[in-house]
Structure 1
Amino acid sequence: MSRPDVPSRPGSVPLLLLVGALVAGIVCLCVGTAFAKHLFPAIGAAGTTAYRVGFAALLLCAFWRPWRWPLSGRDAGTLALYGAVLGAMNLLFYLSLRTIPLGIAVAIEFTGPLAVALLASRRLADVLWIGLAALGLALLLLPRRLAAPAALQPLDPVGLACVLGAALCWALYIVFGQRAGRLHGGQAVSLGMAVAALVVLPVGVAQAGAALFDLRLMGLGLMVAILSSALPYSLEMVALKRLPRQTFGVLLSLEPAIAALAALAILGERLSLPEGLAIACIVAASAGSTLSAARARRAPAAPAA
């Protein structure tokens, strides 16, 4: 059964192009997040989030000029919800990074879209791909806990609560993003980011104060905003409008693997053999989901018996 929030011409854009847009967005997001941690000592997690979301909102609104398209009251309400969960997701995730390692935080946050993918699944193959992705996530977590005795200590409860809240917001972001997909993609992502900025900026200013106006820090914040918000959310909106919800959710399983690679390149975190196997499981799940979606999209075109 088709959903009203998915365009009626899903085949108008090649599947591989949609997948490429989503993967490129994930790469930008992970690299930007790794760089963002360097700003924490100067302006804190909330201040860094204010840079990320605030600059991204300005850039996206300047590029897309969302006022060019009409906006009904119903669509404005949808965008308000979309932007609110987007802002809360960013803020909660960055707050969790104060006490939880990046790889673990990304893996826990991923439970949000994974739950969306599982609930939206209608075929046995989709459940198998999700299970393979979940296995990869488990392999990513276990080696870290076994390799360092200090990691055997329970996770910080405040940080854990923050990242679980971010996971819930990520799930809601997918749901509301699908609904906002009825609008022009540029209008939806730019106005959504503007709402997110209204949610995050008061918290960031309250924490960082005048330090937010340091020109050197603002330059770094602008780079973080481009890499981790402006580019990824624009690319994700393109994919989110046309990919089936369960496929979108499973493809996001690439994020823990890409985050681990970004941490290796930028933060110097090395990968163990089990972590390498975890990446293989996640990539296989993503590839399998893509192939399954391609077969499902070709099926309606077959001639009737």
Structure 2
Amino acid sequence: MPAASPSPATTPATATTPTAPAQARTTSPANRLKGGLGGRFGPVALVVAAGISVQFGAALAVMIMPRAGAAGVVTLRLAAAALVLLAVCRPKVRGYSRADWGTVVAFGVAMAGMNGLFYQSIDRIPLGPAVTLEVLGPLALSVLVSRRLVNLLWAGLALGGVVLLSGHGGGGLGFGSLDPLGAAFAVGAGAMWAAYIVFSARTGRRFPQADGLALAMAVAAVISLPLGVAQAGSALLVPSTLALGLGVAVLSSVLPYTLELLALRRLPAPTFAILMSLEPAIAATAGFLVLHQAMSLLDALAIALVIAASMGAVRAQRG
């Protein structure tokens, strides 16, 4: 499951033309090499690091689910992330219209639904397959928005990957032996991820900086609180559980938000989306290293098909 993607910061164009010495400095071979490496690979590294943080945070969440349950972990994550974002952003609450608040509430509902369904999913099925099914939501959104015939090819490729995952029989932790309810939760989380993307963009247009994100996170935390308390009760107040929940919040929310915000200042949105398509592979790696969730070659091939379909759909978009 991805972190929230803040709206990219806009960089105003400079109003003056650099002098000749300045032009010479900026166009020297050394500066071109340094700028090329930093400009091309720096933001990419930030996005990949954010994805690693998110998925290893999800792996940590699986480890503490026996203590607090899936709903309890969601509550800990969203509440901790909301407190951090509200403290850092200090968003204003006055001067907004009813439509503005409606948008941020819808964003919070989508965020709560995406997190809640995803954590219910990884409580039942391996992390890699769960993220693979979840990413179908943004992929479907990309196909619908693009309205290009070639994206039907990418949709078919993704469908082939899912059929391969669910149909080869598997074994152990293979995809063929998935809990049907866990798979359904993952697909539902993907649908909420698509809604999350839509309302994230709308919120970014109505609220400055990350104010809308902080407010939406608070809404999501309030929504998840009753469910978390009902499932975990006083276990949420155990110091060790609180500390681990804070770790999940930092790895899955606070750190990725920061890295993605820095990356989006220098990285085109389509490139960012393509890099986000690597989430299933990162999730499978985290599941293997942290949770010892092995996968077969057919599972890996199926995940690769879904990743390729996501990348192709994003690259086929225009505008």
| Pairwise TM-score range, normalised by the shorter structure | 0.7 to 0.9
Structure (1/2) with the larger helix percentage: 1
Could you tell me which residue of structure 2 aligns to residue 200 of structure 1? Answer: 224
Could you tell me which residue of structure 2 aligns to residue 230 of structure 1? Answer: 254
Q: Distance in 1 between matches of 2:54 and 2:118?
A: 13
After TM superposition, the structure 1 stretch with the greater mean CA deviation from structure 2, 65-74 or 185-194, is 65-74
List aligned pairs for 1:260-271, cutoff 5 A.
260-271=284-295
Could you tell me which residue of structure 2 aligns to residue 60 of structure 1? Answer: 85
From 53, 63, 67, the counterpart of 1:42: 67
Could you tell me which residue of structure 2 aligns to residue 162 of structure 1? Answer: 185
Structure 1 gaps of 5+ residues are 1-5, 298-305
What is the deviation of 1:180?
1.2
Whether 2:269 is the aligned partner of 1:243: answer yes
| Residue pair 2:132, 2:303 contacting (<8 A) in 1 also | no
What is the deviation of 1:120?
1.2
Could you tell me which residue of structure 1 aligns to residue 32 of structure 2? Answer: none
Deviation by residue 1:128-155 (Cα, 9 ceiling, x = unmatched): 5555555555555556x42349975673
| Residue pair 1:189, 1:234 contacting (<8 A) in 2 also | no
| Residue pair 1:43, 1:207 contacting (<8 A) in 2 also | yes
| Matched residue type, 2:63 | H
SS of corresponding position for 1:181? helix
Deviation by residue 1:243-278 (Cα, 9 ceiling, x = unmatched): 25xx76654332111110111111112343334444
After TM superposition, the structure 1 stretch with the greater mean CA deviation from structure 2, 56-65 or 226-235, is 226-235
From 93, 105, 109, the counterpart of 1:80: 105
Q: Distance in 2 between matches of 1:149 and 1:62?
A: 41
Could you tell me which residue of structure 1 aligns to residue 200 of structure 2? Answer: 177
Whether 2:142 is the aligned partner of 1:117: answer yes
The total of aligned residue pairs comes to 285
| Residue pair 1:64, 1:190 contacting (<8 A) in 2 also | yes
From 245, 252, 265, the counterpart of 1:221: 245
What is the deviation of 1:116?
0.5
Could you tell me which residue of structure 1 aligns to residue 51 of structure 2? Answer: 26
What is the deviation of 1:7?
8.4
From 177, 180, 188, the counterpart of 2:212: 188
Q: Distance in 2 between matches of 1:8 and 1:227?
A: 23
What is the deviation of 1:91?
1.2
| Residue pair 2:277, 2:311 contacting (<8 A) in 1 also | no
After TM superposition, the structure 1 stretch with the greater mean CA deviation from structure 2, 182-191 or 146-155, is 146-155
After TM superposition, the structure 1 stretch with the greater mean CA deviation from structure 2, 106-115 or 48-57, is 106-115
Shift in CA distance, 133/103, structure 1 to aligned 2, threshold 3 Å: same
Shift in CA distance, 174/161, structure 1 to aligned 2, threshold 3 Å: same
| Residue pair 1:117, 1:249 contacting (<8 A) in 2 also | no
Q: Distance in 2 between matches of 1:15 and 1:123?
A: 29
Q: Distance in 2 between matches of 1:161 and 1:43?
A: 22
Could you tell me which residue of structure 2 aligns to residue 146 of structure 1? Answer: 170
What is the deviation of 1:198?
0.6
Shift in CA distance, 9/180, structure 1 to aligned 2, threshold 3 Å: same
CA RMSD across the alignment: 3.7
What is the deviation of 1:29?
1.4
What is the deviation of 1:156?
3.7
SS of corresponding position for 1:270? coil
| Residue pair 1:106, 1:255 contacting (<8 A) in 2 also | yes
| Matched residue type, 1:107 | T
Shift in CA distance, 271/105, structure 1 to aligned 2, threshold 3 Å: closer
Give the structure-1-normalised TM-score.
0.77
Structure 2 gaps of 5+ residues are 1-6, 14-38
What is the deviation of 1:196?
0.5
Shift in CA distance, 154/95, structure 1 to aligned 2, threshold 3 Å: closer
Give the structure-2-normalised TM-score.
0.74
| Residue pair 2:128, 2:285 contacting (<8 A) in 1 also | no
After TM superposition, the structure 1 stretch with the greater mean CA deviation from structure 2, 197-206 or 117-126, is 117-126
After TM superposition, the structure 1 stretch with the greater mean CA deviation from structure 2, 274-283 or 212-221, is 274-283
| Residue pair 1:48, 1:204 contacting (<8 A) in 2 also | yes
